[in-house]
Amino acid sequence: MSQGKSGFDFSEPQRFGSALLNSALFGPGTEAVLAAQRALVSQTETMLSGWMSRRQEAVQDTQRLVTRLRDCRDMREAMQAQQSWLMGEMRRLAEDATSCQQAMLGGGMTLAAAMPQADALNDGEAARPLATVRPKPAGPQAGAA
């Protein structure tokens, strides 16, 4: 009687597990990317904390404006109240823009510093997929006769 042979290759899961652990996902460069992500989250938290503080200030300024407008005796007083409120809004807008730019610049620098380290530790694994991208061939343009 012949022995039946199983169609399952028991070494396949082991090869898969080994390949997964040696992949870029679990490679040493992953630590650099995760450290960069931690720094980005911290920078974002700082930026959003300032943004929320400015929004709270804006609500309080708007409440003061409404009170001042309600108690105004003439147009000049109303215009001064509105101008003061608008100056505060513009200042907060400028602070928001500056904070966002600083966060984007800091985040870009953090990622730029982490990526070469991660790429080097993973033997160029991160850059390899980009090298295989080919441009699409130029086809007929829409509307061409």
Q: Mean pLDDT of all residues in the chain?
A: 79
Tens digits of per-residue pLDDT, 55-106? 999 999 999 999 999 999 999 999 999 999 999 999 999 999 999 998 888 8
Tens digits of per-residue pLDDT, 14-64? 777 776 666 666 666 777 778 888 888 988 899 999 999 999 999 999 999
Calpha distance 133→136 (Å, rounded):
9
Q: Which residues contact 61 (CB under 8 A, 6 or more apart)?
A: 85, 88, 89
Residue among 1, 29, 25 at smallest CA distance from 115: 29
On whether the pTM is more than 0.85, the answer is no
**Domain limits of the chain?**
28-118
